[in-house]
Structure 1
């Protein structure tokens, strides 16, 4: 694999490279394949233009959002440490998030924000309580426990 195809920061940080490829391949894959049913080639078989197409969005985001660089780097490093099963669960969670409406996302932000500060047994109790709530009760709980931005 030609390392010149990666931005300098991605060459120095293997996790960032992996995260970029996983996230961007899902976005750019339809544009890369003439036949959507055909398997995509290995990185080494991609043309320089195809490689650039995959990397450009990450480069643009990295350069446009300097304040987010530590967060992006942390996510890439966490992704590298994940097992295949953990990565699969993360993908499923991202898909669920994409299909939530704005109100559901606000509720989940409040719920996850609260759960982060709880020990495991209290987390389990809150999950059970949440599942038993009506939509109106969830909305009220979310307003009372909205995370601080």
Structure 2
């Protein structure tokens, strides 16, 4: 969230200082050193504060992001936005379902989604207890 706020503030300041009617922002190579530093500093701080396993995950995410198509990136943004707007209980359920679905085939994932949709709240709680979240990074 801090990174998003920093980026939003930078974009507003860049468009305000551009003086042009078109608020198009420059390519990376045309950013000033101060603008680049404002973009990079939050990521550097997160990297430096992270333990090695979390750094590895950050690097893998960056590499995966680079390999995604624009459409895949947009889907990822929408998913993140949807997750951010969930209640804490919904987030915990989403984490558990995601962890469980990781090793499944598409057909198995579809079957689990259908089963989940037909469960009562009590059945979902029982399922969550039987399928605890493992090997996911700590919540921020």
TM bucket, shorter chain: 0.7 to 0.9
Are residue 58 (structure 1) and residue 43 (structure 2) matched? yes
Partner of 1:105: 91
User: CA offsets, 1:33-55, max 9 Å, x none?
Assistant: 2468x735213443322221111
Partner of 2:8: 30
Partner of 1:4: none
Structure possessing the higher relative contact order (Cα contacts under 8 Å, 6 or more residues apart): 1
Q: TM-score, normalised by structure 1?
A: 0.73
Return the offset for 1:131: 1.6
List alignment gaps of at least 5 residues for structure 2. Answer: 17-21, 136-140
List alignment gaps of at least 5 residues for structure 1. Answer: 1-22
Report the CA distance shift for 1:30/1:117 in structure 2 as closer, same or farther (over 3 A).
closer
Partner of 2:138: none
Partner of 2:104: 118
Q: TM-score, normalised by structure 2?
A: 0.77
Partner of 1:96: 82
Q: How far apart in 1 are the matches of 2:25 and 2:49?
A: 30
Number of aligned residue pairs = 126
Alignment of 1:37-76 (within 5 A): 39-42=23-26, 43-67=28-52, 68-76=54-62
Partner of 1:9: none
Q: CA RMSD in A?
A: 2.4
Q: How far apart in 2 are the matches of 1:63 and 1:142?
A: 34
Partner of 1:20: none
Q: How far apart in 2 are the matches of 1:39 and 1:97?
A: 30
Q: Is the 8 A contact 1:109 1:146 kept in 2?
A: no
Structure 1 residue runs of 4+, over 4 Å off? none
